[in-house]
Chain A
Amino acid sequence: MSTPQPAAAGAPLLEVEDLKVGFGPRGHVNEVVHGISFAVESGKCLAIVGESGSGKTVTARTLVGLTGERSQVEAGKLDLGGRSLLGLSGRRWREVRGAEIGFVLQDALVSLDPLRKVGQEIAEPLRIHGWGERSGRRQRVIDLLTEVGVPEPELRARQLPHELSGGLRQRALIAAAIALDPSLLIADEPTTALDVTVQAQILELLQRTKERGRGLILISHDLAVVSRLADHVAVMRLGEIVEQGPVEQILRSPRHRYTRALLDAVPAAHSKGTRLAPRVAGAYIPAGDPQVPTVAGRAPIITAENLVKSFRGPDGTSRTAVDHVSLEIRPGETLGIVGESGSGKTTTARIILALIDPDGGNVTLRGKAWTTLKEKDRRQRRRRVSVVYQDPLSSFDPRWTVRRIVDDAIAEEDYRGKEARLGRVRELLGHVGIGPDLLDRRPLQLSGGQRQRVAIARALAPQPELIVCDEPVSALDVSIQAQVLDLLADLQSELKVAYLFISHDLGVIYHVSDCVLVMKDGRVVESGSAEQIFNSPQAEYTQKLLAALPRLDRTEPERKAVPA
């Protein structure tokens, strides 16, 4: 196995100058990356940060020659270890990939062959590049799995991808990428969709790669994630690098407005009670007091006592998803539930929505029976509690237009007649900043942010007292997330609606919540006011979660900010 010669001291490992990438036939090329330049040194990490459509993934794929046949790549310079990668043939690229540049893809579940054992997947780069003998390769796979911190590596190597958890799959993917110890590792959103504690472990693993003197390019939409690892940050927007520099400089004294907006959009402790996104022309501006009213002491809308729910697993064993959970939601207040996947937060929400019946305990709505009612009797009162789902697209009938989706949620007796109903639809859409020009669009023709706005309009239509928001922003870009969170805050202050807000993102939960429940394995490990939970967490698990949370350290004074 040949590792490329380390470049001369001081010279960067990877140098990219004026890189342009476009797609389409010659003469009609749609350029998506417009002449960007950056460099990566050995033992350093460059983070490329941007939102969807910024060109960051295309850039990453260009560096491993995987842009496809219809792409046009041009660059002033594209050198790895002093050798140009421009115009390599498919065969030469295959020699470079894996051996000299490792590539970790975003989604470990779809990136791993579902019919191939994990060990085979990791052995593949070794085999293709002619590394050692069969038995030696087997040992190397075990070593690699051990190196990336996979417990019981012999067992794991014999398993199929679906038998592994998300975190283990991501590790296996990284093991495959570093199998030949490439001098440069590119990771495209390696921790997106992972729980915060698992994310911290993966970042740790990448940190070790960096410390071994390898170059690292980290592609992410999340500035907080990269701030832990990156030495340099390049902020991309619409195919251009709008700003790049040392990580301290980008975080503490960003020069470009877009970088500042991105930083402001991250919800966290500092942002509580403030707006995350700049106000945009035409958006709904609420009347009156922007502060969330304090309403403690008023009778709760929802009271849940000792909820228990278990599910039977495919192997016949019973698993307790919700274990003696009690909670209260008061008018105009936001209760946040935070927990990792499998903690039972969504099941709790579904019991409160009376979509599933609890095995034990009960929920009352405004002091009256709720979960114990027959569905027929409950139907009338369902409009007092509505819901915004994580994936708005699947929560809409795909055949329906925006108008019909919202209209469907308006009670028959409240608005009669075509004109009155249409007026109400327009009014609701106005609340969420959707113009009448989108009335006849179908869900698929809307952007992610627009869909979630329509979903919120639908949730408002029955004039509910409580809206259950189940991970409403976790599929959105940070700037869109900021707009949606601002919108929810505006609606709360205007309409005095209460939220049950579910998220795996502690920053989001802290930003929106008055009270917080922390859940783990179906149990509430800690509850209290948001300040209490985040500033003086009592439970060990909460402390661990908070420690694992990537934070944007923007105010820490000890490291000197680089002068602009």
Chain B
Amino acid sequence: MATAIDPTVGGLPLPGGPAPARTGVLARVRGIRPAVALSVLFLAIIAIAALVPSLLTKGNPLAVNLGHSLQSPSLEFPFGTDQSGRSVYTRVIYGARESVLIGLGATAVGLGLAALLGVAAGLGGKWVDGAINRLLEVLFSFPGLLLALFLVAIFGSGVSTQIIAVGVASAPGYARMIRGQVLQVKGADYVIASRALGHKPSRTLFKNILPNAFRPLVVLATLGVGQSIVWASALSFLGLGVAPPKPEWGAMLDAGKDYIQTAWWLELFPGAAIVAFTLAASCLGRYLQRRIEGETF
């Protein structure tokens, strides 16, 4: 009479009827989607370009050949050439190392600094929170570029300064967000539940508060890599970053801006490289987040 139904599922047994269907389970797509596959492929190419650029191009990124200057894309020069006759393709490939380094480095510096400040503000109590908040407001009130210029003035120009400058300039935004997250997670029921179970505060901090507070940052950070490259290019433009002949995507954008009306390829290809890299990184970031943590929200 009583049909055997899953006791854990809602609803009362109905004679002869099927058990009530309560499918709260989100259908998870196990197969890798094409977008993710493309992202992985593209990032692999960028990785090769950054590590062993000679595998992807036979050319020399610094070889000047004025006879070939400002040629549009062709079989010989797939991305065209710049005003000095250098192959844009070769320079984009060789530029990957510096650009990726700046993007990842600056994001890491920014997030690291922000994590320190944000977590301290979120957990430190009224005085620490107040002090850090004022500091963040001061940092916010400077335009990022001005702050970067200030740092360059102190440390001198170069890639590492660029990384630190962009990192510091992006930190206040992340720090605010982390602080908000920590405050929110700190008051969450599951943190109270952890306390009620008698867990030490350090355990609750590392197992519940921090992982949950940093969750939304995974995607944000992947987007931040692209943003950092763009910011770094502004510094390069001012001559405070990568020195001119050296290839770097941001610097290439700036170098090509004088010819934008006649030689669109000077802007398009380095720009596309930045956009594609950002897209691929965030696409993969989201995918990894889903795979590792599941669809929890």
Residue numbers of A with Cβ under 8 A of B are: 51-53, 237-238, 257-258, 261-262, 265, 277-278, 280-283, 353, 355, 378-383, 385-387, 389, 391, 394-399, 408-409, 433-435, 438, 441-450, 453, 458, 462, 477, 479-480, 483
- Kindly report which residue of chain A lies nearest to residue B28, judged by CB atoms: A445
Contacts of A394 in B (CB 8 A): 188-190
**What CA separation (Å) do A238 and B9 show in the bound complex?**
14
Q: Smallest Cβ distance from A250 to chain B, in angstroms? A: 16
Across the interface, do A389 and B8 meet the contact criterion of CB distance under 8 Å?
A: no
Partner of B296, one of A265, A355, A433, A444: A444
B24 touches A446 (CB 8 A): yes
A-B contact pairs, 12 of them (CB 8 A): A53-B10, A53-B22, A261-B13, A280-B4, A355-B192, A355-B195, A379-B199, A379-B200, A386-B197, A396-B193, A398-B297, A477-B10
* A383–B194 alpha-carbon span in the complex (Å): 11
In contact, B212 and A397 (Cβ under 8 angstroms): yes
In whole angstroms, what is the CA distance A449 to B8 when docked? 7
Bound-state CA distance A353–B188 (Å) is: 17
The listed residue with most A CB atoms (<10 A of its CB), out of B5, B12, B24, is B12
Among candidates A280, A397, A399, residue contacting B7 with C-beta atoms closer than 8 Å: A280
Q: Does B9 contact A449, Cβ atoms closer than 8 Å? A: yes
A383/B198 in contact, CB under 8 A? yes
B211 pairs with A434, CB closer than 8 A: no
Closest chain B CB from A475 CB (angstroms): 12
Question: Which residues in B have their C-beta under 8 angstroms from that of A51?
Answer: 10-11
* Inter-chain contacts of B211 with A (CB < 8 A): 399
What CA separation (Å) do A448 and B24 show in the bound complex? 9
Given A383-B197, A445-B25, 7 new contacts (CB under 8 A): A258-B12, A261-B12, A387-B196, A395-B193, A444-B26, A447-B24, A449-B8
> Using a CB–CB distance below 8 Å, which chain B residues touch chain A?
2, 4-15, 17, 20, 22, 24-26, 188-190, 192-200, 207-208, 211-212, 215, 293-297
Bound-complex Cα distance A445 to B296 (A): 8
Closest to A434 in B: B8
Pick the contact of A408: B12, B17, B197 (CB < 8 A): B197
Kindly provide the distance from the CB of A220 to the nearest chain B CB, expressed in whole angstroms: 17
State how many angstroms separate the Cβ of A354 from the closest Cβ of chain B. Answer: 8
Give the residues in chain B near A462, CB-CB below 8 Å: 197-198
Decide: B12 and A282 in contact? CB cutoff 8 A.
no
Cα(A397)–Cα(B194), bound, Å: 9
Q: Which residues of A contact B196 (CB under 8 A)?
A: 353, 355, 382, 385-387
Question: Which residues of chain A come closer than 8 Å to B13, judged between CB atoms?
Answer: 261, 278, 280
Question: Known: A51-B10, A453-B8. Contact between A238 and B197, CB under 8 A?
Answer: no
Please report the C-alpha to C-alpha distance between residue A237 and residue B20 in the assembled complex, in whole angstroms. 9
